[in-house]
Amino acid sequence: MLKTFRIGGIHPKENKISAGKSIQNIEIPEQVIIPLSQHIGAPCQPIVKKGDKVKVGTKIGKSVGYVSANIHSSVSGTVLKIDKALDSSGYRRDAVFIKTEGDEWDESIDRSNNIKREFDLSSEKILSKISEAGIVGMGGATFPTHVKLTPPPGTKPEVLIINGVECEPYLTSDHALMLEKTEEILVGTTIIMKALKVDRAIIGIENNKKDVISRFRQLIKNYPNISVEELKVQYPQGGEKQLIDALIRRQVPSGALPISVGAVVQNVGSVFAIYEAVQKNKPLFERVVTVTGKDVKQPMNILARVGIPLNNLIEKTGGLPETTGKIVSGGPMMGKAIASVEIPVTKGTSGILIIPTLEAKREAMRDCIRCSKCISVCPMGLNPTLLMNLTEFEVWDRAETNHITDCIECGSCSYICPSHRPLLDYIKLGKGRVNTIIRARKN
Amino acid sequence: MSVLLTAVATLGAIGAGSAAILYMVGQKFKVEEDPRIQEVQDSLPAANCGGCGFPGCAAFAAACVKAETLDNLYCPVGGQATMDLVAGILGQKAPVTVKKIAVVRCSGTCENRPRTNLYDGVSNCTIASALYGGDTGCSFGCLGLGDCVDSCTFDAIHINPVTMLPEVVEDKCTACGACVKACPKDIIELRKQGPKSRRIYVSCVNEEKGGVAKKSCEVACIGCTKCQQVCPFEAITIENNLAYIIDDKCRLCRKCVPVCPTNSILELNFPPKKDKPGTQIEETATIKA
């Protein structure tokens, strides 16, 4: 039997329409808007000003604070202004506007396509390169990678887990990347193993990506410390804690980090970015974005530079279908509906999903019938209906003792609820409040 | 018969014994409570709204009795009359406070502020504002989902179905501040009610630059400083492209209202201004509904 995590989980229709499609390039527009906050943590400080000339890969935003990541220009040209622009949060935030002139890359970047396998760098040097390149978790959470790869004192990583699960329906960007950059990802994995000083790595892939699994198994002979595990298709297997449970049968305790069970998890997108940063000196300024949807003319995987408006990507796939009801940035489960197609691609944009009107409508909420489906699907073993009620009535102490802060916001509860109750919407709100209360208490 | 008597006698003895023990324990562990606390509590409105900053009227009463002066204690619901009563019980003098009222600082009606997208999520402002900037071009303004209405104990704030904005019922608002806390956008503010309920305020919280603000809403404050220049009492500050009238300095002269190019300064309950020949002021700004 195939491995999977043990608590809860659902299996929504996969709808991987763009699976197996090769990665397409997209034209660089005349102007790009690069948000200064593309990661969890403090926004960047701009280090360019109006009129400055930048090249592809020039650092334009300096990270401030420990949890933050540098931002680099994705085009060559002139800085038009630093102003507020609408981003995927739906709020206007600081961004750098750059007028494109040609496509001149920074000299230090190795643009060749050949795979560079050898590296001779110390763990510290690797981490500083990752930090400098502004790499963040590319599965969508956008947590700065150098922070994640620096285990807190007193902990020791034992195993590196590479997340090639891509459990979100529709999305295929990781799939496409793993198919085309298999060996690069393996080299990237050895780099991270060196940085973490671990001697074992497991790549977890769901078995709806058989082509990727066989491709990895072919190449893995040269990498004795890396193994590939085929996993049963189950959402939310791409969650760190679920993946750790599925692969090494260890459960991360409530409130603890994966490192507490000796595991560090990295998304394949981040691994590829780390390969490029360490071996090719290339900072993170482009990523693979899936543009998909049932009525999209040509769903595809696009290698898009950060700062290109989402509209350009949609146009490339044949334009916005007439039936469009909702445009979601990310996957259908955890993604977020966006208010405008003018917002730019960021480091965390894994996909653009265009949902037809008929499917986009939210059903009216009805009363809870106590069927407990939400409890049985919750991968964290929580009681979503109780947590929703506690949030609604602002009973924060009980919400805390019922582990509201453990919620990974996967949305399985809202998906399964036969009464269409907005469980996750409330739990997210309650989780935020309880976290604020806990922080206030600590200070 | 004797069985009956024995039973009655035994039970009686147990009862009397227990009563004696309870009495003694009650005497020994008696909690001395200031009788004035109850007295003060009885004079309070018993709304338990928390507007005073205490978790209910009983706690406020205890705080009043304990405090040396009533300077920092105020029951917004009962107002001056209640505080005078409390002061009487405690033999103190209640400080004179000004009656306040909640004002909604947003005039972004459907007409003034066109919708740019449709929100079909939970009808809750806090959830919506955590999700995104809102269904209009202005990410500062009112979402109209009614968190303030839910928070009000006094039925004093309602969403107008035409404008989709909350409206405060002047007679009912006690300035307890529950809606101020409930609003995730910090739109509602407690301001002086003013003589005859006359008050002037900037009905906008948009901190965007003028052009951007104006594009998203017809009546947005664009931070043009015209009101600041015309104010004789230095009562208007401009920060982050947004004008703000300081309650304590404003003398309700109304000079700022007609100069506002976007009609974002509202005047309430004033008699219509007479046009004096020779003055520059020609039209009275009215609330655009």
Q: What is the pLDDT of residues B116-141, one digit of tens each?
A: 888 988 999 999 998 888 888 899 99
Query: Is the Cβ–Cβ distance between A272 and A176 less than 8 Å?
Result: no
Interchain pair A429, B212: CB under 8 A: no
pLDDT for residue B289 = 42
pLDDT for residue A251 = 94
**Average pLDDT estimate for A17-29:** 93
pLDDT higher than 80, residue B280: no
Query: From its phi and psi, is residue A366 left (phi > 0), alpha (psi between -120 and 50) or beta?
Result: beta
d(CA A126, CA A110): 17
3-class secondary structure, A433: helix
**Would you give the end-to-end CA distance of chain A in angstroms?**
48
Cis omega (within 30 of 0) for bond into A236: yes
φ/ψ of A408, rounded to 5, equals -100, 5
The helix or strand, by DSSP H or E, that contains position B238, with its residue range, turns out to be strand B236-239
Taking contacts as CB-CB distances below 8 angstroms, the residues of chain B near A409 are none
pLDDT for residue B286 = 47
Q: What is the pLDDT of residues B234-274, one digit of tens each?
A: 999 999 999 999 998 999 999 999 999 999 999 988 888 76
Interchain pair B127, A426: CB under 8 A: yes
pLDDT interval class at B283 (50, 70, 90):
very low
pLDDT higher than 90, residue B92: no
Residue holding tokens 């690797």?
A126
- Class (C level, CATH) for B100-268: alpha beta
Q: Percent of chain B beyond pLDDT 90? A: 50
DSSP state of B57: H
B208 touching A, CB under 8 A? yes
pLDDT for residue B275 = 56
Q: What is the pLDDT of residues A347-387, one digit of tens each?
A: 999 999 999 999 888 889 999 999 999 999 999 999 999 99
pLDDT for residue A66 = 87
Radius of gyration of chain A (CA): 21
- In A, minimum Cα distance to B138 occurs at A91
Q: Percent of chain A beyond pLDDT 70? A: 100
Q: Min CA distance, A215 vs chain B (Å)?
A: 40
Interchain pair A422, B121: CB under 8 A: yes
Q: What is the pLDDT of residues A42-100, one digit of tens each?
A: 899 999 999 999 999 999 999 988 889 999 999 999 999 999 998 888 888 999 999 99
pLDDT higher than 60, residue A253: yes
pLDDT higher than 60, residue A162: yes
- Reference B167, options B185, B177, B179; nearest CA is B179
- In B, minimum Cα distance to A86 occurs at B133
**Average pLDDT estimate for A183-204:** 95
Q: Give ranges for CATH 1.10.15.40 in chain B.
A: 35-90
Taking contacts as CB-CB distances below 8 angstroms, the residues of chain A near B120 are 361-362
**Average pLDDT estimate for A1-29:** 93
The pair of structure tokens assigned to A151 is 């285990």
Q: ipTM more than 0.85?
A: yes
d(CA A320, CA A45): 35
CATH superfamily, domain B35-90, is Electron transport complex subunit B, putative Fe-S cluster (1.10.15.40)
Query: Is the Cβ–Cβ distance between A41 and A68 less than 8 Å?
Result: yes
Q: What is the pLDDT of residues B209-230, one digit of tens each?
A: 999 999 999 999 999 999 999 9
pLDDT interval class at A418 (50, 70, 90):
very high
Beta bridge mates, A287: A304
B121 touching A, CB under 8 A? yes
B80 touching A, CB under 8 A? no
Q: What is the pLDDT of residues A310-329, one digit of tens each?
A: 999 999 999 999 999 999 99
Question: Closest partner residue to B120 among A92, A362, A426, by Cβ?
Answer: A362
Contacts of A70 (CB under 8 A, 6+ apart): A44, A59, A61, A62, A63, A131, A132, A133, A134, A283
SS3 for B112-142 is: CCCECCCCCCCCCHHHHHHHCCCCECCCCCC
- Reference B152, options B191, B124, B180; nearest CA is B180
A50 touching B, CB under 8 A? no
Interchain pair B208, A340: CB under 8 A: no
Question: Closest partner residue to B132 among A339, A362, A428, by Cβ?
Answer: A339
pLDDT for residue B284 = 45
Radius of gyration of chain B (CA): 27
Q: What is the pLDDT of residues B161-214, one digit of tens each?
A: 999 999 999 988 988 889 999 999 999 999 998 888 899 999 999 999 999 999
Q: Give ranges for CATH 3.30.70.20 in chain B.
A: 100-268
pLDDT interval class at B68 (50, 70, 90):
confident
Residue A103's alpha-carbon distances to A29, A52, A99, A208, A224, in angstroms, are 11, 16, 11, 38, 40
The pair of structure tokens assigned to A112 is 């060749």
Domains and CATH numbers, chain A: 1-18+106-361 (3.40.50.11540), 373-442 (no CATH)
Amino acid at B118: L
B126 touching A, CB under 8 A? yes
Q: Min CA distance, B122 vs chain A (Å)?
A: 7
A370 touching B, CB under 8 A? no
pTM above 0.95, yes or no: no
